[in-house]
């Protein structure tokens, strides 16, 4: 029979006591992965990797020679991860997706791996000249892509045009320098319509110190020298390539449309405070005509042939506060031909108020709700239903609206119905007119867990 000494027993006891402690040791809590060229699959050495959780300060590291990176000692949270390297853009951004890759650490997944793919970006460069061939400083140049009407909503960050069943949205714009030169990049490889706006909006990018107002007959132009995107073809740039595209601004005289604003409070003695807009439907949507208003008369000059929607709004403040809803509105479609048009009257009618309620079904707990309306002409209305679910859409501009409902708290509730009177409008939206009546009843249902 073996005899175990007292010292051996003590040593064994220490080992047995330590084993549970090791089993409960804190996990690594790390995020690691690789930054790779999506085309070749090779790691990108020296890429700068960034992760961030919510509003916390971001963390940075650098990928090694194989493109591998690692963040250690992290909290159990969700993180957004992305990478940067000269000449490359993330594959997500190249595909039109904003934001980085999401990775979450939790009790049962304290360590995570992620693959960050990047693509070589493309660049389009060129020069813009006026109709006489002189370089033009300070005009806006944009790379636009075509989408079916409504697919991208009103998400365009710069320029933009619509024609027929398509809209042309530009998400990257620059101004020409003093030599008329521009550089559009980084861009994902693909096809683009290159558009130039010679009448820039001073509120968008700022104007050069020596910028002078341009001739109104100089038109928004698509490469190489067209007034409409349908009159030209897009240019195609390969991944990692630089393409040169020079544009000459087109010049074409236009016509005048004039008329009166009639209806509520019409006439200077009544203190008429109105704004008039002309929205192009079949010409470049970013090139707005010059409009002059005097008393109850308006005049738009230099309009190219095509269809326009003329809108008039009456405001309750003087000068007009366009951040507020107008108390009256008018809309009329006008076909501009090859001659001036007079007698285009716009008759104001009151903008309707629509009362409504948000109702939660019996199985759903009530929660704050955000109600969003999006109109065909970029008019929008956002509001928040009160604690009792009641709301009022005040002074709604007449046009067709889509209805979107979004809970503002963590809940499994969703909008299952939106009825304006007896008509279901959640899917197809509704047409608001001066005679539109409510109520708008929104029903929230709950998904089964």
Domains in the chain with CATH codes: 30-119 (2.60.40.10), 122-251 (2.60.40.1120), 255-350 (2.60.40.10), 354-446 (2.60.40.1120)
Round to whole Å and give the CA distance between 255 and 262: 23
Round to whole Å and give the CA distance between 306 and 286: 14
Round to whole Å and give the CA distance between 221 and 252: 11
Q: How many CA atoms lie within 13 A of 38 on its CB side?
A: 20
| CA angle, 85 then 87 then 91, to 5° | 75
Position 1 scores a pLDDT of: 39
55-91 CB burial, b ≥16 within 10 A, e <16: eeeebebebeeebebebeebeeeebebbbbbeebbbb
pLDDT in single tens digits along all 449 residues of the chain = 344 444 444 444 444 444 443 333 344 699 999 999 999 999 999 999 999 998 899 999 999 999 999 999 999 999 999 999 999 999 998 887 888 899 999 888 899 999 999 999 999 999 999 999 999 998 999 999 888 865 554 445 577 777 777 888 877 889 999 999 999 999 999 999 999 988 755 444 555 555 555 677 888 899 988 888 888 989 999 999 999 999 999 998 889 999 999 886 644 445 557 888 888 876 665 666 677 777 788 999 888 888 898 999 888 766 555 557 788 899 999 999 989 999 999 999 888 889 999 999 877 888 888 899 888 776 777 888 877 888 988 888 888 899 999 888 777 889 999 999 999 999 899 998 888 888 999 999 987 65
Give the C-alpha distances (Å, rounded to integers) separating 280 from 57, 90, 99, 412, 433.
45, 36, 33, 42, 22
Position 362 scores a pLDDT of: 78
Position 9 scores a pLDDT of: 41
Round to whole Å and give the CA distance between 24 and 40: 42
85 closest CA partner among 123, 120, 125: 120
89 closest CA partner among 117, 51, 125: 117
Residues 6+ apart with CB under 8 A from 86: none
Position 286 scores a pLDDT of: 61
Position 179 scores a pLDDT of: 95
Instruction: Quickly count: other Cβ atoms within 10 Å of residue 306's Cβ.
Output: 17
403 closest CA partner among 423, 436, 434, 429: 429
Q: Are 89 and 113 within 8 A, CB to CB? A: no
Position 210 scores a pLDDT of: 53
Residues 6+ apart with CB under 8 A from 215: 251
The pTM of the whole model exceeds 0.85: no
**DSSP string for 119-131:** EE-EEEEEEEE-T
């Amino acid at each position: 029979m073996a005899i175990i000494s007292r010292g051996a027993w003590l040593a064994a006891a220490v080992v047995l006591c330590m084993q549970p402690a090791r089993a409960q040791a804190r996990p690594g809590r790390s995020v690691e992965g690789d930054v790779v060229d999506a085309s070749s699959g090779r790691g990108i050495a020296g890429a700068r990797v960034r992760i961030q959780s919510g509003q916390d300060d971001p963390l940075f590291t650098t990928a090694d020679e194989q493109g591998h990176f690692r963040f250690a000692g992290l909290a159990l949270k969700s993180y957004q991860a992305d990478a940067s390297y000269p000449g490359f853009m993330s594959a997500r951004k190249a595909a039109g997706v904003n934001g980085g890759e999401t990775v979450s650490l939790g009790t049962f997944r304290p360590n995570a791996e992620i693959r960050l793919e990047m693509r070589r970006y493309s660049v389009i460069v060129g020069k813009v000249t006026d109709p006489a061939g002189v370089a033009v400083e300070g005009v806006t140049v944009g790379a636009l892509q075509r989408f079916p009407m409504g697919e991208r909503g009103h998400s365009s960050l710069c320029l933009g045009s619509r024609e027929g069943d398509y809209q042309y949205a530009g998400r990257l714009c620059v101004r020409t320098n003093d030599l008329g030169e521009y550089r559009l990049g980084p861009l994902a490889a693909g096809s683009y319509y290159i558009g130039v706006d010679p009448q820039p909006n001073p509120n968008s990018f700022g104007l050069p110190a020596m910028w002078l107002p341009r001739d109104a007959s100089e038109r928004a132009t698509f490469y190489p020298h067209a007034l409409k995107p349908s009159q030209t073809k897009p240019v195609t740039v390969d991944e990692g390539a630089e393409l040169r595209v020079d544009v000459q601004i087109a010049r074409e005289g236009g016509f005048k449309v004039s008329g009166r604003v009639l209806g509520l409070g019409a006439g200077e003695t009544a203190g008429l405070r109105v704004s008039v807009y002309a929205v192009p439907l079949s010409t470049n949507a970013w090139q707005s005509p010059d409009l002059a208003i005097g008393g109850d008369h308006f005049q738009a000059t230099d309009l190219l042939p095509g269809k326009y929607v003329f809108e008039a709004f009456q405001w309750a403040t003087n000068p007009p506060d366009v951040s507020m809803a107008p108390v009256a509105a008018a809309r009329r479609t006008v076909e501009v031909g090859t001659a001036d048009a007079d007698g285009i009257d716009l008759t104001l009618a009151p903008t309707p108020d629509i009362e409504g309620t948000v109702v939660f079904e019996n199985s759903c707990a009530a929660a704050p709700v955000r109600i969003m309306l999006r109109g065909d002409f970029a008019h929008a209305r956002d509001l928040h239903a009160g604690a009792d679910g009641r709301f009022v859409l005040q002074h709604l501009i007449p046009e067709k609206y889509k209805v979107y409902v979004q809970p503002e708290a963590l809940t499994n509730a969703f909008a299952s119905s939106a009825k304006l009177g007896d008509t279901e409008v959640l899917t197809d939206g509704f047409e608001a007119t001066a005679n539109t009546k409510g109520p708008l009843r929104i029903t929230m249902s709950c998904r089964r867990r």
